[in-house]
């Protein structure tokens, strides 16, 4: 079960990017794949959530996507029901917007440190004052959230029902009673109204304000009594409070002490203990997590409404092996900013293996990232940029790229890459999606052919979906001659990339074209040497 975002934050400040990927075999996305797929940039692209809780939930979804087929179906259904029901969409939007309006105060209550009237808020999480305003507004925001959800219309989707029930059930908790008040404070305990019922033990009622009428009245009585029994002037003691300046001599020092004494007491003995209970409560955490999940669903709808090209809700199918079928698929990140981005069709079903060849800068890597990012968005219940999309739910998504070995690896480049490939192979299953960007770098051509053949045949026997990006057309020819795998290539016209993926095997490298493009061709090198006087 996923940790709530508040559980991920712990006692620290709220952070949107609060979840990290693990090692190979830990979750669907490992740390190296996360970095290769540029998932921080993908998050920035799809993030239309408005609250901190919503954004943190969305980020968590990308790092820890759903693995259950039924969970993805339910989440997709929730997005669709909100999208198709204008009244429901408006009510959820208004609810999220109300929380957003006062969310800063709620987060101050949960994570702030209150410095008093003379402190400084230059440090992280340090807030001026004693915490009365964050407490009042923060608790009121949560109470209003529950009230709004109680007024929601009935829904059919199981995912939405669960979120609504999670928030509604908060009204039956101790923390709800404390937020609603009154709060009773005793020497070693804090009680809600319901817990206090029937108890005759003396307790102080906590009011989140410096203005304490009863305490102020008692203060005046004490001053009056002191003045009656110890008059500081010769005037009539009965009228000393009204006319004698000795009253002000006694009152002003006490008034100056009143604010820090009362404020510090309330902060240290009431607000901080209540804050710690709210922050550590699973009831509070689940309620605000459910709010974040509602915000995430709205974010998906806003993404579709604002994306420059067509987006569809992908059709997910339950199969034993990984399969995918895309029509006019667009890269989620690049398609948002590049006008007329070239979409591509791709289908991997019974073939299991796909080989993508072609010259550099032709779009091989861009397409593979398109596929894997669309797969990831599908598994969080989001729309994807494509005309049509049908795919299975993966248990692992791996993307291996060439790496530079470190001094302490002890294996060199070839061994370092091979160890990662081995780990991916051992932890993948028939439902996994594996993308390998080149294989067996750092060794001879003959060994690359043999090692590449062994690895790809191993993945073929595992039955998962494996895609190899390679310049090694001889390796692809070997499989093609045996009618194994799907050979694809990036198209070039007049030595310029069209960025389309077509059938076939490319036997061109266009290395000189790329060298000229970056200014490091043979002629460029000779010009540099001439300028330096070396020729």
**Is residue 353 included in any domain, yes or no?**
yes
Round to whole Å and give the CA distance between 288 and 385. 30
State the residue range of the domain holding 504.
Answer: 307-531
Q: What is the pLDDT along the chain (535 residues), one digit of tens a residue?
A: 789 999 999 988 899 998 999 999 889 999 999 999 999 999 999 999 999 999 999 999 999 999 999 999 999 999 999 999 999 999 999 999 999 999 999 999 999 999 887 665 566 778 889 999 999 999 999 999 999 999 999 999 999 999 999 999 999 999 999 999 999 998 778 988 888 776 667 778 899 888 775 555 665 566 556 566 655 444 454 444 454 555 555 556 666 677 788 889 899 999 999 999 999 999 999 999 999 999 999 999 999 999 999 999 999 999 999 999 999 999 999 999 998 999 999 999 999 999 999 988 889 999 999 999 999 999 999 999 999 999 999 999 999 998 765 545 555 667 888 889 999 999 999 999 999 998 866 667 788 888 899 999 999 999 999 999 998 899 999 999 999 999 999 999 887 889 999 999 988 765 666 667 778 778 877 787 788 766 5
In degrees and rounded to multiples of 5, residue 379 shows phi and psi of -85, 0
**Is residue 193 included in any domain, yes or no?**
no
Q: Which residues pair with 22 in a beta bridge?
A: 30
Q: Please give the distance of CA 455 from its chain centroid, rounded to a whole number.
A: 35
**Is residue 146 included in any domain, yes or no?**
yes
pLDDT of residue 417: 85
In degrees and rounded to multiples of 5, residue 430 shows phi and psi of -65, -20
Round to whole Å and give the CA distance between 440 and 451. 7
Query: What's the pLDDT tens digit per position in 57-90?
Result: 999 999 999 999 999 999 999 999 999 999 999 9
CATH number at residue 76: 1.10.1420
Domain boundary among 265, 300, 335: 300
pLDDT of residue 444: 72
Q: Do 130 and 269 contact (CB within 8 A), yes or no? A: no
249 with 136, same domain: the answer is: no
Q: Please give the distance of CA 181 from its chain centroid, rounded to a whole number.
A: 33
Round to whole Å and give the CA distance between 209 and 258. 13
Round to whole Å and give the CA distance between 77 and 326. 21
pLDDT of residue 37: 95
478 with 341, same domain: the answer is: yes
Q: Which residues pair with 419 in a beta bridge?
A: none
Query: What's the pLDDT tens digit per position in 414-464?
Result: 788 888 999 999 999 999 999 999 886 666 778 888 889 999 999 999 999
The CB density around residue 204, as the number of other CB atoms within 10 Å, is: 15
Domain count, the chain: 3
151 with 239, same domain: the answer is: no
464 with 393, same domain: the answer is: yes
Q: Do 93 and 82 contact (CB within 8 A), yes or no? A: no
Percentage of residues in the chain with pLDDT exceeding 90?
Answer: 66
256 with 365, same domain: the answer is: no
The kind and range of the H/E element at 88 are helix 86-111
406 with 495, same domain: the answer is: yes
233 with 125, same domain: the answer is: no
Q: Do 386 and 326 contact (CB within 8 A), yes or no? A: yes
**Is residue 433 included in any domain, yes or no?**
yes
Three-class SS of residue 265? helix
CATH number at residue 406: 3.40.50.300
99 with 222, same domain: the answer is: no
Q: Give me 294's structure tokens.
A: 């509602």
Half-sphere exposure of 259 (CA within 13 A, CB side): 9
Round to whole Å and give the CA distance between 159 and 497. 44
Can you tell me which residue has the tokens 């993926």?
501
Q: Do 432 and 465 contact (CB within 8 A), yes or no? A: yes
**Is residue 524 included in any domain, yes or no?**
yes
Q: Do 361 and 514 contact (CB within 8 A), yes or no? A: yes
Round to whole Å and give the CA distance between 125 and 135. 15
Three-class SS of residue 84? helix
- Say which DSSP state 239 is in: G
484 with 337, same domain: the answer is: yes
Round to whole Å and give the CA distance between 529 and 179. 76
- Say which DSSP state 169 is in: G
270 with 374, same domain: the answer is: no
**Is residue 84 included in any domain, yes or no?**
yes
162 with 251, same domain: the answer is: no
**Is residue 258 included in any domain, yes or no?**
yes
Q: Do 429 and 322 contact (CB within 8 A), yes or no? A: no
Q: Give me 282's structure tokens.
A: 């699973």
Q: What is the pTM of this model?
A: 0.89
**Is residue 444 included in any domain, yes or no?**
yes
Cα angle 261, 265, 207; round to 5: 105
238 with 262, same domain: the answer is: yes
């Amino acid at each position: 079960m996923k940790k709530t975002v508040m559980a991920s934050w712990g006692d620290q400040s709220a952070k949107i990017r609060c979840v990290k990927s693990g090692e190979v075999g830990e979750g669907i996305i490992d740390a190296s794949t996360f970095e290769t797929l540029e998932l921080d940039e993908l998050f920035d692209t799809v993030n239309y959530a408005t609250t901190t809780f919503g954004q943190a939930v969305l980020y968590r979804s990308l790092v820890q996507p759903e693995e259950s087929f039924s969970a993805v179906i339910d989440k997709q259904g929730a997005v669709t029901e909100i999208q198709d029901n204008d009244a429901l969409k408006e009510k959820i939007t208004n609810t999220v917007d109300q929380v957003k309006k006062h969310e800063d105060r709620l987060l101050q209550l949960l994570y702030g440190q209150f410095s008093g009237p003379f402190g400084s808020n230059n440090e992280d999480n340090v807030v001026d004052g004693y915490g009365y305003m964050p407490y009042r507004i923060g608790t009121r925001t949560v109470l209003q959230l529950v009230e709004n959800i109680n007024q929601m219309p009935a829904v059919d989707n199981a995912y939405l029902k669960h979120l609504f029930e999670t928030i509604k059930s908060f009204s039956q908790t101790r923390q709800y009673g404390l937020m609603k008040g009154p709060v009773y404070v005793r020497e070693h305990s804090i009680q809600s109204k319901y817990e206090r019922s029937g108890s005759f033990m003396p307790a102080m009622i906590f009011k989140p304000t410096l203005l304490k009428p009863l305490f102020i009245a008692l203060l005046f009585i004490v001053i009056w009594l002191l003045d009656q029994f110890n008059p500081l002037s010769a005037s009539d003691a009965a009228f000393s409070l009204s006319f004698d300046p000795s009253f002000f001599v006694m009152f002003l020092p006490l008034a100056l002490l009143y604010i820090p004494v009362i404020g510090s007491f309330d902060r240290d003995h009431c607000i901080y203990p209540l804050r710690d209970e709210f922050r550590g409560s699973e009831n509070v955490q689940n309620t605000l997590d459910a709010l974040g999940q509602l915000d995430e669903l709205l974010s998906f709808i806003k993404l579709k409404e604002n994306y420059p090209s067509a987006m569809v809700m992908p059709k997910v199918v339950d199969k034993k092996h990984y399969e995918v079928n895309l029509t006019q698929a667009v890269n989620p990140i690049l398609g948002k900013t590049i006008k007329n981005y070239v979409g591509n069709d791709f289908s991997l079903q019974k073939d299991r293996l796909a080989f993508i060849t072609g010259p550099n800068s032709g779009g091989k890597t861009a397409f593979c990232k398109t596929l894997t990012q669309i797969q990831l968005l599908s598994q969080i219940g989001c729309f994807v940029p494509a005309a049509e999309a049908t795919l299975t739910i993966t248990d692992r998504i791996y993307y291996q790229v060439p790496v530079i070995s470190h001094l302490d690896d002890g294996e060199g480049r070839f061994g370092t890459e091979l160890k990662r490939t081995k780990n991916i192979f051992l932890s993948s299953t028939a439902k996994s999606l594996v993308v390998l960007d080149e294989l067996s770098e750092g060794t001879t051509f003959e060994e690359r052919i043999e090692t590449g053949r062994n690895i790809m045949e191993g993945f073929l026997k595992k039955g998962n979906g494996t895609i190899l990006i390679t310049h090694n057309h001889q390796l692809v020819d070997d499989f093609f001659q045996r009618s194994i795998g799907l050979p694809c290539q990036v198209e070039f016209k007049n030595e310029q990339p069209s960025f389309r993926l077509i059938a076939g095997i490319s036997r061109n490298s266009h290395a000189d074209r790329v060298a000229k493009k970056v200014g490091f061709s043979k002629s460029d090198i000779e010009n540099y040497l001439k300028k330096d006087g070396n020729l």
